[in-house]
Chains A and B, each alone.
Chain A
Amino acid sequence: GESVGLHLPTLSVQEGDNSIINCAYSNSASDYFIWYKQESGKGPQFIIDIRSNMDKRQGQRVTVLLNKTVKHLSLQIAATQPGDSAVYFCAEGGSQGNLIFGKGTKLSVKP
């Protein structure tokens, strides 16, 4: 069945360093992937998405990489800032336009 998971539940980085958050998915037919950031007490906030016909997409300070061969997705955050501290979720597109979420990775940025 469909499932989305994460390799690491927590990640701690120094301010200014780059962060890499990883995600594995199991449904090889998935064609849409998305990353969300969730701060305490708030709903998930859209960061960046990517379709399966691409292997890389860049935004402001963020890059998503998609490796369909090994069904792996990653989010790279450049020059990580304290404001980036949050839980990050990857999700894949379901058949009805809904999203299927993984458990999340908590990112902590040390000043």
Chain B
Amino acid sequence: GAGVSQTPSNKVTEKGKYVELRCDPISGHTALYWYRQSLGQGPEFLIYFQGTGAADDSGLPNDRFFAVRPEGSVSTLKIQRTERGDSAVYLCASSLYGATYTSPLHFGNGTRLTVT
């Protein structure tokens, strides 16, 4: 079956611009996660959705970052007024159960964001 799909795979934007990153989770997975990965580092948690609601957004670095999942499936990560420090690979993952029963997260291949 299809895995987690993320688009675009690469995004180059100028400092100060607005970007949207899209994630299509595995069908039937109720939980969706966004992570950010800098070069040479492990993925860093940003936000977690259970269904349509953000159950935990404690990892979002500041209010320039926002994510939605309006129908409980596709999610969009939005970054306003991008800064060069936002450059990283943004990973999306989904899991079958989420916090109700810890289960493996299945990751997409990420969106590589470069802010010039």
| Chain A interface (Cβ < 8 Å from any Cβ of B) | 4, 31-32, 34, 36, 41-46, 49, 89, 91, 93-104
C-alpha spacing A89/B93, complex, angstroms: 15
Q: Which A residue's beta carbon lies closest to that of B92? A: A43
Contact among B43, B44, B59, B99 with A44 in the assembled complex (CB-CB below 8 Å)? B43
A101 contacts which chain B residues (CB < 8 A)? 42-44
Q: Which A residue's beta carbon lies closest to that of B99? A: A97
Q: Are A34 and B104 in contact (CB under 8 A)?
A: yes
C-alpha spacing A98/B97, complex, angstroms: 11
C-alpha spacing A99/B33, complex, angstroms: 10
C-alpha spacing A30/B48, complex, angstroms: 19
10 contacting pairs across A/B (C-beta < 8 A) = A31-B102, A42-B109, A43-B91, A95-B99, A96-B99, A97-B99, A98-B56, A99-B45, A103-B42, A104-B41
List 8 A-B pairs, minimum CB-CB distance, nearest first: A101-B42, A43-B107, A97-B99, A96-B56, A32-B102, A93-B102, A97-B98, A46-B104
Could you count the A-B residue pairs with CB atoms below 8 Å apart for me: how many are there? Answer: 65
Q: Which A residue's beta carbon lies closest to that of B3? A: A43
- Tell me if B12 is interfacial: C-beta within 8 Å of chain A: no
Q: Are A43 and B108 in contact (CB under 8 A)?
A: yes
B33 contacts which chain A residues (CB < 8 A)? 98
